[in-house]
Amino acid sequence: MASDNNKKSSSENGKTETKNHRRTYGIQTPGTKGIAGTKRYAMVVDLRKCIGCMSCVVACKSEFGVPLGVWRTWVKVSDKGTYPNTKRMFMPRLCNHCDYPVCVRNCPTQATFKHKDGFVLQRYNRCIGCRTCIVACPYNARHILPAKRSDKNLPYEVVDKCTFCFHRVKKGLVPACVQACVGGARIFGDLNDPKSEIARIVAGETVTVLKPELGTQPSVFYIGADWEMMDETHSYNNRTVQLKQEFNDFKRNHVVDGYGDIVEGESTMRQVGKNMGDFLNSIPHKASEVVKAFKKLLFE
């Protein structure tokens, strides 16, 4: 259904693309939800159908070669109740492609922008790796690509995010995670097209979004979401002991740009000092990269 609509809209849109701005920036980028003559791609995640198979995560990883330790989409898993009355809940997460994205307005180099059809996209060639957008994003949807990639031609040390599979959608396909979802939990399409499946679902079902109080107007809707999973502080305060340990190990073992990870239960100021040491140690390595780049530019 979604793919049919996409095909139709991409052929129809030949003229309007030249008229409308393809990229928008600004304090409040113009929202396109419900505006006639525009498109607003969105996703509904029906959590009643999600079985937690992680196919979406795998499909996304293979579609984009997402490196280890970072995710464009992931599934949060939670347990509720006590034995024998228990329930396991899943919540797939991805970029919300907000109608009023904070990341777009805060980016200092116009590296991130909102496409007129609602996609919030990233331009690697403009990104300076300042991580302003990561700080701005309330949904943790952004990550910085590691310095060491298996293929040296791939972008590194720049910010990356979910694109709603823009490259597939413009060819009339649905995103890879939607294609791979075995339960049919993810539904994708144009919200402004009243005939689309997603428009009918959003109009007829009770849907929720993450952090609606921030006014970002997310374009990822959930059906059957548990409030505790949607709550930032509740999630932080209610983790298994094992998960806490894993998170601490993650912070200890990952040396990345940022140098702000503080392991719980250990001296804060000592770690602040260690982070500063790690940062200073990284300078010669980065400097050599810069020298190499200049040599390549001047002599090759």
Partner 1 sequence: MGYALTTMAESSVVIANAFHHVAWGTPISVYFWLVGASAGSFVISSFGWVFGIKRYKPLAMTASLQAIVLLLIVPILLIWDLGKPVRFIYLMLPGYWHSTGPMAWGSLLIFSYPISMIVYVWFVMKNDLFWAKTTGIIAIVLAISTHWYTGVVMELNPGRFINHTALAPLLFLTGAFISGIGLLILILWVQNMIVAVKKRIDWSLMEEMAQYMMYGIVFDCFLLFLEFMQTFYGNQHELEGHETVLMGIFRFPYLWLELVIGLIIPFFILVSPLKRNKYGIILASFLVAIGVYGMRVWWVMGGQYMQTFF
Stretch that binds partner 1, among 42-50, 164-172, 173-181, 231-239 (CB under 8 A): 231-239
One-letter amino acid at 276 equals: M
Considering the complex, state which of residue 203 and residue 287 has its C-beta at the smaller distance from partner 1: 287
- Residue 279 sits in the site that holds partner 1 (CB under 8 A): yes
CB 98 within 8 A of CB 149: no
One-letter amino acid at 136 equals: A
**Residue 220 phi/psi, 5° resolution?**
-110, 115
Stretch that binds partner 1, among 2-10, 60-68, 101-109, 195-203 (CB under 8 A): 101-109
- Residue 247 sits in the site that holds partner 1 (CB under 8 A): yes
Tell me, residue by residue from 50 to 89, as one string, x for binding to partner 1 by CB under 8 A and - for no binding: ---------------------x--xxxxxxxxx--x---x
- Residue 293 sits in the site that holds partner 1 (CB under 8 A): yes
CA atoms in the 13 A half-sphere facing the CB of 212? 7
Q: State the Cα–Cα distance between residues 116 and 54, nearest whole angstrom.
A: 30
Q: State the Cα–Cα distance between residues 294 and 218, nearest whole angstrom.
A: 42
Sort strands 41-46 and 159-161 into parallel, antiparallel or unpaired: unpaired
Count of residues near partner 1 by CB under 8 A = 89
From 7, 195, 234, 295, residue interacting with partner 1 (rule: CB under 8 A): 234
One-letter amino acid at 225 equals: A
Tell me, residue by residue from 109 to 148, as one string, x for binding to partner 1 by CB under 8 A and - for no binding: xx---------------xxxxxxx-xxxxxxx--xx----
Stretch that binds partner 1, among 15-23, 40-48, 196-204, 214-222 (CB under 8 A): 214-222
Residue 134 class from Cβ within 10 Å (0-12 exposed, 13-18 middle, 19+ buried)?
middle
